[in-house]
Amino acid sequence: MHYMARYLSPLGEIILTADEQGLTGLGFADKLPPAGAATAASPYLTAAARWLDAYFAGERPEERPRLHMLGTPFQLEVWRELLTIPYGQTITYGEIAARLAKRRGIPRFAAQAVGGAVGRNPVGIIVPCHRVMGAAGNLTGFGGGIERKAALLRLEGAWQADFHLPPEKKPKQKR
């Protein structure tokens, strides 16, 4: 059975999903397709809401709710690496790629492949993909939107003066 709950955060409504094995999803409602799971009680949803309460109160929640993330072996490897990024710190896609290459005993690994896996993280915030930066302090990609990524980094005290938001894309004019 699949479960769903809505969580009202300071950054907007969050949709939480779970199954019998753990938390399966966490994303901002305005960035997700309509939720189809039944709204029902689940200990994993309750644990995730408690975690988010502490996080948005500026605390450092230690115990994560149990996760049940489904993905390719490579995605799971990258998502496990995201879980090692300490609260209030950031890392680049390239640094994660270097860690994976070292672990696999190969000379290098493509940061773009890491970026693809990070971008498919189904449990944002708790699996802290917002702590991953592009080269030279570029805030790139976040399923909840770049402004929310910046807000999360500020909340954690991780924002640095050399971070910068990408320039806004101007809509193409019709001919």
In the residue annotation, 129 being an active-site residue is answered as yes
User: What DSSP state is assigned to residue 134?
Assistant: -
Tally of CA atoms within 13 A in the half-sphere of 76 that contains its CB? 8
Neighbours of 57 (CB within 10 A): 10
Amino acid at 64: R
Dihedrals phi, psi of 133, to nearest 5 degrees: -115, 160
Q: Which one from 129, 133, 155, 158 is the annotated catalytic residue?
A: 129
Point out the residues that are catalytic: 129
